[in-house]
Amino acid sequence: MKRKPEHVTAAAFIAVLAVCLAMALSGGVRRLLGDRTVDIYLYHPGEEGVTWLSVVDWFQDTCEILCTDELPGRVKLKEANAAMNRAMGKWIFEGTEMVRLNNGYLAQVAVVDYEKVSPEKGVIAFRDFVEEELGVPYLYIQAPCKLCQEDPQLPVEEMDNFNEQTTMLHSKLREAGVDVLDLRQSLHEEGLDHYGCFYITDHHWTAPAGLWAARVMAEELNGRYGLGMDSGRLAEEKFTQRVWEDVFLGSLGRKASLGAVQPEDFVLPVPLEPVHVTMTRYGAEITGGFEVLYDEEAITPENFYEGSSYGALLRGDCGYLKVENLDAPDGPVVAVLRESFAGAPGPYLSMAAGELHLLDARYYDGSVREKLAEIQPDVVVSLLNVECYVHTYFNEVH
């Protein structure tokens, strides 16, 4: 005798509830055994006394506290849920600002109103400092984001407006005389595949895209300011590709879980000719070849949910990082106001400069302006991606 569909559905629902109950009970046992990370509290009626709504809220809070990330089986349950959602064709991930694009890539989405926060004011003030007090040129470089301006691939068009708001910002900056290099346009002018320049499971661009961007930036700095960077050293034919297969699960992939996406390859362009550099990070110097500029051990993480191959580039986020090119000690000194998108082009940009100084206002403890005055660069650029909240970032630049 065949079971009715509603009976099968009910059985599946009860099974899921049983798993959730087991997880909660596991958390309760851990609390009884003295695990203080499971911080539950007793129900206390409010001024209105015992109400149904307050009891439900307390019960929900208790379940969320007990079902912590450390519970056995939680990750597998999350993966099973993600696999089911994918089979059902769901493109939005609850509890996150993340969607699956029409082409299968994961992306974060948000809406911003630059008319209200006026990010151009912070950029213009910083440009004035660089040009008037340091006496060197300033270039605002726009890194693209995962969403293509010409082909966003969004399930719903109104879900994100960062590209439109960024274009508006550029207009205001140019009106104020700020030099702008929009790598979104450069990418399409050179016929590159926008989405091919990004990871499927991460919001960052790839290391090969970083090599391309570093070459474009070096050529632009030479053309605009006669800087004398060795852009020829960044020609594509002077590199070979190192490939680590199926090792990278990006930040978006970790949120979605392995039930929704699969790990992808990590590709790193490596120069064919020897490179000699000294990198100073958190006060510690490392001298050697190109391998100094990335952490190979971090490329293959022990746990997909805890490691990040992209974080291997420049050995991760850092408030201040200096790379000295020992092959061209008399080359130009370039200072970059950065965020994490500088990780991909940074190693290659350092090969074209004499010194590369990378300052991240999000993590730098001191005064960015005082540090730049100490560095005495030949040029200052900012490299921020489209989805960087520009007004918030420049509030940290003092």
Cα angle vertex 212, ends 395, 309, to 5°? 70
pLDDT of 27 higher than 50: no
Query: For the segment 198-210, what is each residue's pLDDT rounded down to a tens digit?
Result: 999 999 999 999 9
In the prediction, which pLDDT does 28 show? 47
pLDDT of 398 higher than 70: yes
Q: How far is residue 205's CA from residue 341's CA, in Å, rounded to a whole number?
A: 7
**HSE-CB of 207 using CA atoms within 13 angstroms:** 25
In the prediction, which pLDDT does 23 show? 52
Coil, helix or strand for 349? helix
Coil, helix or strand for 355? strand
Please classify residue 376 by burial: count the beta carbons closer than 10 Å to its beta carbon, then call 0-12 exposed, 13-18 middle and 19+ buried: exposed
Query: For the segment 43-78, what is each residue's pLDDT rounded down to a tens digit?
Result: 677 777 778 777 777 777 766 665 555 555 667 767
pTM metric for this prediction: 0.84
Q: How far is residue 257's CA from residue 265's CA, in Å, rounded to a whole number?
A: 17
Query: For the segment 231-245, what is each residue's pLDDT rounded down to a tens digit?
Result: 999 999 999 999 999
- Polymer length in residues for the chain: 398
Q: How far is residue 334's CA from residue 220's CA, in Å, rounded to a whole number?
A: 13
Q: Give the tokens for residue 24.
A: 């909660």
Q: Give the tokens for residue 232.
A: 């020829």
First CA to last CA distance, the chain? 75
Q: Binning pLDDT at 50, 70 and 90, where does residue 138 land?
A: very high
Strand-pair partners of 338: 383
Q: Binning pLDDT at 50, 70 and 90, where does residue 42 land?
A: low
In the prediction, which pLDDT does 55 show? 73
